[in-house]
Structure 1
């Protein structure tokens, strides 16, 4: 019963957010959801998404993960985008997407090549999601031991 009530509340909040969106923004928000879904954002930034074949409820999307990605660069963790993007304006997000050089395995070059309209759409979609989850663990430099599980990458061939 509690689970049903929470799900119903999420649907009402999402519908309310979309209903109050400025004309044209509703379509942009839907496009942002689509882009998040097909571009692989959830594969890393949503706990258990890739391992479950995408069977994670939308209310849990983009909350970051405790699973580390470890290689010659150290150990990185997928940040909680719902918390990060809530703090950024649309223009700040676009500037970040165009200039950031992030550690592996984040394909930052993909963000750089996205159309501005698509970056706006992603930002608008993520902003419709309520802040949820906790910040991801901090980056660990090479040689520091991660406390939780990690996916290990070999050093690239020379």
Structure 2
């Protein structure tokens, strides 16, 4: 399949043709692999759970240098209380291929949207890995372990 893309916002647009192999999943195209990963993190809502204060401040906080460090803001439901893991520590401890495998087969507690994550193309999973690896600063600390149903989360 051949896809034509229009790029540029000025009066003169450029046509770029990309050939996609039959059966290949759609993937995000950006100026770089890291840019594609950043876009996927933003539109995929990763920061909502994996970055403290992000959802509560409607994305106004914290700075991008603090993104994806995990959160102590719990998500409570019939499963107990779960916390967004520190994805920086996760990618620091595994290879890109292990990350793709993890996202392809992963399961965990809600609200993690595993069906959508598993459906991502391997190229997009690799782009997210590249983006997380590119984030500056300290990796942070692990998020709290999940709590079973009925357990009271500590005060934030």
TM-score of the aligned structures, taking structure 2 as reference length: 0.75
State whether residues 68 and 148 of structure 1, in contact with CA within 8 Å, keep that contact through their aligned partners in structure 2: no
Pick the aligned partner of 2:112 from 87, 106, 109: 106
Task: Name which structure has the greater RCO, CA cutoff 8 Å, separation 6+.
Answer: 1
Give the number of the structure whose residues are more often helix, by fraction: 1
Following superposition, the deviation at residue 133 of structure 1 comes to 2.0
Q: CA separation in 1, counterparts of 2:57 and 2:86?
A: 19
The DSSP-based 3-state class of the residue aligned with 1:48 is: coil
2:153 is the alignment partner of 1:146: yes
- Corresponding residue number in structure 1 for 2:94: 88
**Which structure dedicates a bigger proportion of its chain to strand?**
2
Superposed structure 1 runs of 4+ greater than 3 Å apart: none
Paired residue secondary structure (2:33): helix
Aligned to 1:17: none
Shift of 1:132: 2.5
In the superposition, the TM-score normalised over structure 1's length comes to 0.74
Q: RMSD of aligned C-alpha atoms?
A: 1.6
1:134 aligns with 2:141: yes
Quick one: distance in 2 between partners of 1:148 and 1:124?
A: 34
